[in-house]
Amino acid sequence: MLEVIWSLAAFIITLGVLVTFHEFGHFWVARKCGIKVLTFSVGFGKPIWQRQGKDGTTYQVSRIPLGGYVRMLDERVDEVSVEDQPYSFNSKPVWQRAAVVAAGPVANFILAIVVLWFMFLLGVPSVKPVIGNVTPNSVAAQVELTTPSEIIAVNGQRTDDWQQVNLAFAGALGDAEAQLTVRDAQQRERTLTLDINDWRLGDEQVPTFVALGFEPFQPAVFTELAYIEENSPAARAGLREGDKIVAFDGTLMDSWSQIRDAIMAAPAADITLTVERQGVTEQLAVTLGAREFDGQRYGYLGVEPTREAYPDDYRFVQQYGIVDGLVKGAERTWSLMVLSVKMIGKLLTGTVSVTNLSGPVAIAEGAGVSASYGLVYFLGFLALISVNLGIINLLPLPMLDGGHLVFLAIEGARKKAVSERVQEISYRIGGALIFALMVIAISNDVLRLLR
């Protein structure tokens, strides 16, 4: 329950910040163009807070936090006095109206730059993209890789961490091949060609590099126990920290992965563990617990194994000064913008399944998880969603900012506004398309929860 509340709170904060900046973009440019703004609302529906500003604008927060709006004086919908006509939206030249419409998405891009700038000023704890293993019969298995090897570039794009590797491969979806530059343990660099012509990203919610078969480096895990959870099956059976599991129901166990798989395959089963304790071998009767995940029951013991320390030279902090951080924030924002456009194109061509579309539930989960990891990770998530919001609003669909810009471009070209009848029909079609996309996205969210 606390996890749901945390995710909901993070979601409301995320959406509130993004919507406020988006609408402020419209508001600020409208005021600069001499347009009278009647209402600035964060959220839809009945206001829960409202204040009349000295500038004549009503500022409010409304009940439904799934968007917002800026209502400007417009002779097409308002009764406008002769004195106020010069301050109406429709009285302004095409270029000013276009600037007002475009200002919302632009504000989202600026917000992303500022947020990422602050993130890089604080410093982002990161892990180098070192390949620990390659999944057999995968796309990655087609090239000979020595492990460990560090991925330093994908298609010439530098990759400092696994997130950048993930984004770089996402951008390569649909291509015939990808150029992979790696550095091995002897510091030798090689550029390899991956045949990704038949690779498609399905509905599995996994990073692109995992789908390709690259397994990130993980420190060695031993069969000796480092932690026993209180009131767990392990604690009730008498297992202790320092015990080394030797056998499971008489079957010798050489690795922790074998032990883990055996435990997970026996939910609620009565089993016998052979352990080595201070040089003496003992057999312990254990009744495993059971947990459910994605509709499947798995065995549960309640222990953590001893692990090797993560190598210090694989860890680093991405931190920059004021100027370099701003440049890095702008570069990352541009990369996210380009990737967002590419992914929309890949959805339209079927390279990426529509089952990858995410709705408000997935965004809330992402907000909650990133916020639980810390401020810098939440800032990165905020920037990503801000860029996506800006790009989506620029799509040439009626009811979105991009659709309004299309109508204004036509008006500017033919020196005559598109008829209200045509606009009304277009808005209905655009609304139906947006509603359909929302239904797909929310359905995907529900299906993921039910798995």
304 is catalytic: no
Burial of 192 (0-12, 13-18, 19+ CB in 10 A): middle
Report the distance separating Cα 91 and Cα 84, nearest Å. Answer: 10
Torsion-angle region of residue 399: left (phi > 0), alpha (psi -120 to 50) or beta?
left
What is the Cα 263 distance to its own chain's centre? 32
DSSP one-letter string for 51-80: EE-TTSPEEEEEEEEEEEEEEE--TTTS--
CB 38 within 8 A of CB 57: yes
Report the distance separating Cα 33 and Cα 175, nearest Å. Answer: 44
Q: Provide the strand spans (E) within 221-269.
A: 221-228, 244-248, 251-252
Nearest to 190 by CA among 137, 136, 143: 143
Report the distance separating Cα 425 and Cα 429, nearest Å. Answer: 6
Q: Provide the strand spans (E) within 140-217.
A: 149-154, 157-158, 177-184, 189-195, 214-216
Nearest to 115 by CA among 329, 389, 372: 329
DSSP 217: -
Catalytic residue among 23, 150, 331, 411: 23
Q: Let me know the angle formed at the C-alpha of 64 by 30 and 23, rounded to the nearest 5 degrees.
A: 15
Report the distance separating Cα 349 and Cα 175, nearest Å. Answer: 12
Question: For residue 297, what are the β-bridge partners?
Answer: 292
Active site residues: 23
